[in-house]
Amino acid sequence: MTLTEQMTQLGRQAKAASRDLAQLTTQEKNDCLLAMADALEMHRQVVQEANAQDMAASAQAGLSAAMLDRLKLDDKRVAGMARGLREVAALPDPVGRILDQRTRPNGLKLQKISTPIGVVVIIYESRPNVTADAAGLCFKSGNATILRGGKEAVHSNQAIAQVLLAAATQRCARFPLHAIQLVPTTDREAIKELLSLTQYVDLCMPRGGEGLIRAVADCSRVPVIKHYKGVCHVYVDGAADLKMAAGIVLNAKTQRPGVCNAMETLLVDQAIAPTFLPAVARQLMEKKVELRVDDASRAILKDQAPNLKTATEEDWYAEYLDLILAVRVVNGVPEAIGHINQYGSAHSDTIVTSDETHARKFLAEVDSAAVYWNASTRFTDGGEFGMGAEIGISTDKIGARGPMGLEELTTYKWLGFGNGQLRV
C-alpha cells in the first residue's frame, strides 16, 4: 500500500467513525473514558517500558535535558493522564447544547446547537501525554481523531493508544474502532498526504516548534488552528511586591522549562532593576539558568555575574524550552507592552504590580491569548483552567484562542422548526 493509500484509508475510516460517534450517548462516552483511565493505570508498566525505549534512543540522539523531560512518562505523569481522562468524563457533554434560539415573526422557530467538528488531525512533538489528552477530548466532543506524534515518542504513543483502544472496546460495544487512530509512519510526507484529504479531514491542530507549525500551515489544504510557540514574558513593574515577583519569575522559568507556557523573557522596570535584578539573578543562577541580557541589565549585574551573555535580536524572539532566559530593562509599562507585542508569540504574558492602573493597561493592551496580573504564565493549561485537559493552546485570533478544551472542539448548526412557512 502506498503512502497516499495509507493516509486515504485513515481519513476514510475516521470519517466513518465520526458518524458512529454521533450516535453514542453521553453515558457511553463517559464509561469509555473512565475505562481508558483505569487501563492506563493498570498497564502503567507497559506504557513506561515503551517510554524507556524512546528515552534511551532520544538520549543517544543528543536531545537536551529539557526535551527529555517533556518525553518522560514517570508515575506522576501516567497518573496525570488518567486523571485528565476522568476529569473530561466528569465535564458536561459539549455536544447538543442550545447556544441560541429565536422565533421569527412568521412563527419559524430557530435553534443554534453545538455539534462535533468531525475529523480532527493532531500533529505534535515530544510529549506523549498529548496522545491521551487529545484522544479523550476529541472522543468526548464526538470527534474522530488522527494522531501524529514525533518520532522521538513513537513507542510511547503506540503503547498509550493501544491501551486506550482496548479499554474502550471492552467497555462499550458501540465504540467505533477507528475513532482514535495513530499515523503508522514517521515519514514527514505522510503529513502532506493526510492534510490534502479535504473530503475526510475537517481540522488540523499542530503543536510544536516554529518549523513544524510553518510546515503544516504551508502544506495543509484543511483548516489549521495553530498551537504556536510560547515566547512568554514576565514584566516586573516598578510598583511590584519584589518578593512576590521573585516567586513568580522562578516558577515561570524553572518549574518546568521545557513547556510552551514557561517564561522566556524577563522584563524589569528600570525604577527597581538595580534592587530586583541582582537578587532574582542570584536565585535563577542557583537553578542553573543561563542569562542573556541587554546592556542595562549587564551594567547592573556585571560584578555579580561577569560572564553574562549578551542578548541578540534573535534572543527576544526565542522559545528556548530550556534553562535559558533573556533579560531586559524597560522604561515602564508602555515600553514593556511594546516589547511584548513586537517580540512575543501571543501566548501568555504576566505583569507583577500592586498598581491597578498599570495592571489594567497591561491587561488591555498586551495582545496575547492569556494575560495575567500577579500570577505565573505556567497557568495557561487546560487542566489549570478547569477544562480537564487541553488539546492545545491556540495563539490564533479566529476561532478558539488559548487553552482548547471540549467546547472549543465543537462547531454548531441551525435547526429550523416550522409548520409550512414559505418565504415571500
Q: Return the CATH number at 203.
A: 3.40.605.10
Is residue 366 helix, strand or coil? coil
Structurally, the chain folds into a number of domains equal to: 2
Q: Are 248 and 137 part of one and the same domain?
A: no
358-367 contact pairs (CB < 8 A, 24+): 358/237, 358/239, 358/333, 361/333, 361/337, 362/235, 362/333, 362/336, 362/337, 365/337, 365/341, 366/337, 366/340, 366/341, 367/341
Q: Residues with Cβ < 8 Å from 316, sequence gap 6 or more?
A: 265, 326, 328, 339, 342, 343
Ranges assigned E (strand) in 149-262: 180-182, 203-207, 232-236
Same domain, 164 and 250: no
- Give a yes or no: residue 385 inside a domain: no
Q: Are residues 373 and 409 in the same domain?
A: no
Residue 161 sits in the same domain as residue 300 = no
Question: Do 238 and 333 belong to one domain?
Answer: yes
Q: What is the CATH number of the domain that holds 311?
A: 3.40.309.10
Residue pLDDT tens, the chain, 424 long:
899 999 999 999 999 999 999 999 999 999 999 999 999 999 999 999 999 999 999 999 998 887 898 899 999 999 999 999 999 999 999 999 999 999 999 999 999 999 999 999 999 987 899 999 999 999 999 999 999 999 999 999 999 999 999 999 999 999 999 999 999 998 989 999 999 999 999 999 998 777 888 889 899 999 999 877 899 999 999 999 999 999 999 999 999 998 899 999 999 999 999 999 999 999 999 999 999 999 999 999 988 877 799 999 999 999 999 999 999 999 999 999 999 999 999 999 999 999 999 999 999 999 999 999 999 999 999 889 988 777 888 888 887 899 988 999 999 999 999 999 999 9
Do 284 and 222 belong together in one domain? no
Same domain, 224 and 241: no
How far is the C-alpha of 129 from the C-alpha of 382, rounded, in Å?
13
The answer to the question of residue 216 being in a domain is yes
Residue 368 structural domain: 232-379
Cell of 372: 495575567
Q: 203 pairs with which residues across the strands?
A: 120
Residues 221 and 332 in one domain: no
Which of the 8 DSSP states describes residue 1? -
Identify whether residues 209 and 270 lie together within a single domain.
no
- Farthest CA pair distance, the chain: 84
Same domain, yes or no: 403 and 347 = no
Is residue 7 domain-resident? yes
Do 44 and 172 sit in the same domain of this protein?
A: yes
